[in-house]
Copies of this chain bind each other. A is one copy, B any other.
Amino acid sequence: MPSKTQSRLRIVLEPDIAIGPGKADILEGVRDTGSIAAAGRRMGMSYKRAWLLVETMNACFKEPLVAASRGGKSHGGAVLTPVGEEVLRRYRRMEALSAKAIAAELRGLKRLLSDMSN
Protein backbone atom coordinates (compact mmCIF):
# COMPACT_ATOMS: atom_id res chain seq x y z
CA MET A 1 0.00 0.00 0.00
CA PRO A 2 1.14 3.55 -0.63
CA SER A 3 2.18 5.68 2.30
CA LYS A 4 -0.51 7.39 4.31
CA THR A 5 1.53 10.56 4.64
CA GLN A 6 -0.72 13.56 4.11
CA SER A 7 -1.16 17.12 5.19
CA ARG A 8 -4.04 18.55 7.15
CA LEU A 9 -5.08 22.11 7.10
CA ARG A 10 -6.67 23.86 10.02
CA ILE A 11 -7.86 27.44 9.89
CA VAL A 12 -7.78 29.15 13.27
CA LEU A 13 -10.37 31.91 13.40
CA GLU A 14 -10.11 32.60 17.14
CA PRO A 15 -8.15 30.85 19.83
CA ASP A 16 -10.16 27.64 20.35
CA ILE A 17 -12.37 28.32 17.34
CA ALA A 18 -11.20 26.74 14.14
CA ILE A 19 -12.36 24.96 11.05
CA GLY A 20 -10.56 21.78 10.12
CA PRO A 21 -11.19 18.50 8.32
CA GLY A 22 -13.89 17.42 10.80
CA LYS A 23 -16.12 20.47 10.46
CA ALA A 24 -15.66 20.50 6.70
CA ASP A 25 -16.78 16.88 6.55
CA ILE A 26 -19.87 17.76 8.56
CA LEU A 27 -20.76 20.51 6.11
CA GLU A 28 -20.24 18.13 3.24
CA GLY A 29 -22.33 15.50 4.99
CA VAL A 30 -25.20 17.92 5.53
CA ARG A 31 -25.02 18.96 1.90
CA ASP A 32 -25.06 15.34 0.72
CA THR A 33 -27.58 13.82 3.12
CA GLY A 34 -29.89 16.70 3.98
CA SER A 35 -29.69 16.13 7.71
CA ILE A 36 -27.33 16.65 10.61
CA ALA A 37 -28.15 13.24 12.03
CA ALA A 38 -27.34 11.42 8.80
CA ALA A 39 -24.14 13.43 8.37
CA GLY A 40 -23.10 12.38 11.85
CA ARG A 41 -23.96 8.74 11.28
CA ARG A 42 -21.95 8.70 8.09
CA MET A 43 -18.90 9.82 10.07
CA GLY A 44 -19.54 7.46 12.98
CA MET A 45 -20.30 10.45 15.15
CA SER A 46 -23.17 10.94 17.58
CA TYR A 47 -25.95 13.28 16.53
CA LYS A 48 -25.24 15.47 19.53
CA ARG A 49 -21.62 15.94 18.63
CA ALA A 50 -22.46 16.72 15.03
CA TRP A 51 -25.10 19.20 16.12
CA LEU A 52 -22.66 20.82 18.53
CA LEU A 53 -20.15 21.37 15.73
CA VAL A 54 -22.87 22.88 13.56
CA GLU A 55 -23.93 25.20 16.37
CA THR A 56 -20.34 26.35 16.83
CA MET A 57 -19.90 27.04 13.13
CA ASN A 58 -23.20 28.85 12.86
CA ALA A 59 -22.19 31.06 15.77
CA CYS A 60 -18.88 32.25 14.47
CA PHE A 61 -19.92 33.38 11.04
CA LYS A 62 -22.06 36.38 10.20
CA GLU A 63 -24.82 34.11 8.95
CA PRO A 64 -25.55 30.45 9.71
CA LEU A 65 -23.84 27.85 7.53
CA VAL A 66 -26.54 25.27 8.15
CA ALA A 67 -30.29 25.90 8.18
CA ALA A 68 -32.22 23.24 10.08
CA SER A 69 -35.93 22.60 10.25
CA ARG A 70 -38.07 20.31 12.35
CA GLY A 71 -41.11 18.19 11.56
CA GLY A 72 -42.94 18.45 8.29
CA LYS A 73 -43.24 15.99 5.46
CA SER A 74 -39.57 15.13 5.52
CA HIS A 75 -39.54 14.81 9.32
CA GLY A 76 -37.13 17.72 9.57
CA GLY A 77 -33.69 18.11 8.08
CA ALA A 78 -30.90 20.52 7.39
CA VAL A 79 -29.36 22.17 4.34
CA LEU A 80 -26.33 24.30 3.66
CA THR A 81 -27.01 28.00 3.28
CA PRO A 82 -25.28 29.87 0.45
CA VAL A 83 -22.71 30.99 3.00
CA GLY A 84 -22.30 27.40 4.13
CA GLU A 85 -21.70 26.34 0.53
CA GLU A 86 -19.15 29.09 0.15
CA VAL A 87 -17.27 28.21 3.33
CA LEU A 88 -17.11 24.56 2.32
CA ARG A 89 -15.97 25.43 -1.20
CA ARG A 90 -13.29 27.79 0.08
CA TYR A 91 -12.03 25.33 2.65
CA ARG A 92 -11.74 22.50 0.12
CA ARG A 93 -9.96 24.82 -2.22
CA MET A 94 -7.53 25.87 0.47
CA GLU A 95 -6.87 22.20 1.25
CA ALA A 96 -6.09 21.50 -2.38
CA LEU A 97 -3.93 24.59 -2.84
CA SER A 98 -1.98 23.82 0.30
CA ALA A 99 -1.43 20.19 -0.63
CA LYS A 100 -0.20 21.17 -4.04
CA ALA A 101 2.14 23.84 -2.69
CA ILE A 102 3.87 21.52 -0.24
CA ALA A 103 3.91 18.35 -2.33
CA ALA A 104 7.59 18.56 -3.21
CA GLU A 105 8.72 19.31 0.33
CA LEU A 106 6.49 16.53 1.59
CA ARG A 107 8.25 14.00 -0.61
CA GLY A 108 11.55 15.20 0.82
CA LEU A 109 10.28 14.78 4.35
CA LYS A 110 8.96 11.32 3.60
CA ARG A 111 12.41 10.13 2.65
CA LEU A 112 13.54 10.75 6.22
CA LEU A 113 10.88 8.58 7.80
CA SER A 114 11.79 5.34 9.47
CA ASP A 115 11.14 2.22 7.42
CA MET A 116 8.22 1.29 9.62
CA SER A 117 6.51 4.46 8.50
CA ASN A 118 6.22 3.67 4.83
CB distance from A8 to the nearest CB of B (A): 4
- A117 contacts across to B, CB distance below 8 A: 13-14, 17, 60
Question: Is B105's CB under 8 angstroms from A90's CB?
Answer: yes
Task: For chain A, give the interface size range.
Answer: 35 or more
A:20-67 near B, CB below 8 Å: 59-63
| Chain A stretch 96-110: residues in CB contact (< 8 A) with chain B | 97-98, 100-102, 105-106, 108-109
For the complex of A and B, 4 pairs with smallest distance between CB atoms:
A101-B101, A98-B98, A94-B102, A97-B101
A contact set with B: CB distance below 8 Å: 4-15, 17-18, 59-63, 83, 86-87, 90-91, 93-94, 97-98, 100-102, 105-106, 108-109, 112-117
